[in-house]
Amino acid sequence: MAYDAASQSRKSVRLLSSASELDPTTPLSTDKLKTKVAAGRIPVVVVACGSYSPVTIMHLRILEDTRDYLNMGDKYEVIGGFISLTHDKYGKRTLAPMHHRINMTALAVADSDWINVDTWECAQAEWTRTARVLTDRFAASTADVAVQIGDEAPQKGVIKVMFSCGADLLESFTRIKDDGTPLWSFEDQELILRNGVAVVRRQGVNIDELLEHHARMAAFRDNIVQFNAGSQNKVSSTLVRDLLCRGHSIKYLVPEGAHEYIYEHNLKDLPNWQPQA
């Protein structure tokens, strides 16, 4: 019965035939957002940004772990989550065309009761910086969503948007490019940290040390929540692409809807997914 329900959910997904169908005026989908949280809790919307070329089970597991950890304490309550896929013009060599990545990811979360895919970032004319995605899209759109906290009357403007990422991304805030400028502008760092970050600990990155030696992060220490992933499985998009190119099975490494889509659309032969010579 559960399999039938999941299959039925995937059938209801509207698939794109090209990126030209994307509309930047499409409102944020709020159908999976909870509208009530326990007394004393801050309602949180978790946002994950990235390539998803393709989406894997670990992408989704990290979101599940993020929700579990935030809900375990007495400060936050997650009311929903979104995946925002990066624009083709980000320029990463291994990006599948946007419409394929959106379709795969939408199919992957079709049976989720709290995660949605948002297409605003892909619908823009150019690549959009992560900080602007979080503020201009998610913070702005959720500001008008009313949430009831405990027995209080529903209120707008109470949702906190938290960026879900790995410790390696947070560490990249400290990197300086060859031309002497920061990899992340100070403005963008502050926008992201001010909203809030849920960080999965990664081997080789000491988050506490980052907070101690990075003044900007230290200033927003209370907005940075760090936790261990529930599973240390190293499934990645890179691994999936590599297996596909070698003619090996990727079943159970990607969600079933994405698995079916990859083979139905022969994505294993995408030039972008072929190994470099």
User: What average pLDDT does this structure show over 229-233?
Assistant: 81
pLDDT value of residue 3: 54
Q: Which pLDDT band holds residue 203 (cuts at 50, 70, 90)? A: confident
* Percent of all residues in the chain with a pLDDT value above 70, rounded to a whole number: 96
Q: What is the pLDDT of residue 244?
A: 96
- The pLDDT tens digits of the residues spanning 55-92 come to 999 999 999 999 999 999 999 999 999 999 999 999 99
- For the stretch 38-56, pLDDT in tens is 999 999 999 999 999 999 9
pLDDT tier, 258 (very low <50, low <70, confident <90, very high otherwise): very high
Residue 122's pLDDT is 98
202-207 contact pairs (CB < 8 A, 24+): 202/166, 202/167, 202/168, 204/168, 205/167, 205/168, 205/170, 205/171, 207/167, 207/170
| Percentage, residues of the chain above pLDDT 90 | 86
Residue for token pair 């019965």: 1
Any idea which of 5-19, 39-53, 173-187, 253-267 has the lowest mean pLDDT?
Answer: 5-19
| Beta-strand relationship, 42-50 and 160-166 | parallel
Crossing angle of helices 98-108 and 256-264, in 10° steps, is 140
What is the rounded average pLDDT for all residues in the chain?
Answer: 94
Distance in angstroms (rounded) separating the CA atoms of residues 30 and 81:
10
Which range has the worst mean pLDDT, 83-97, 119-133, 209-223? Answer: 209-223
Using pLDDT thresholds of 50, 70 and 90, give the confidence band for residue 12: confident
Q: Which of 58-67, 176-185, 212-221, 231-240 has the highest mean pLDDT?
A: 58-67
The pLDDT score that the predictor gives to residue 8 is 65
Whether residue 134 has pLDDT greater than 60? yes
Residue 39 near residue 151 (C-beta atoms within 8 A): yes
Report pLDDT digits (tens) over 145-183.
999 999 999 999 999 999 999 999 999 999 999 998 999
Cβ neighbours of residue 98 closer than 8 Å, sequence gap 6 or more: 19, 22, 85, 87, 88, 122
> φ and ψ at 71, to 5 degrees?
-75, -20
Which residue shows structure tokens 């906190």? 160
How many whole angstroms from its chain centre is CA 55? 10
* Predicted pLDDT of residue 237: 96
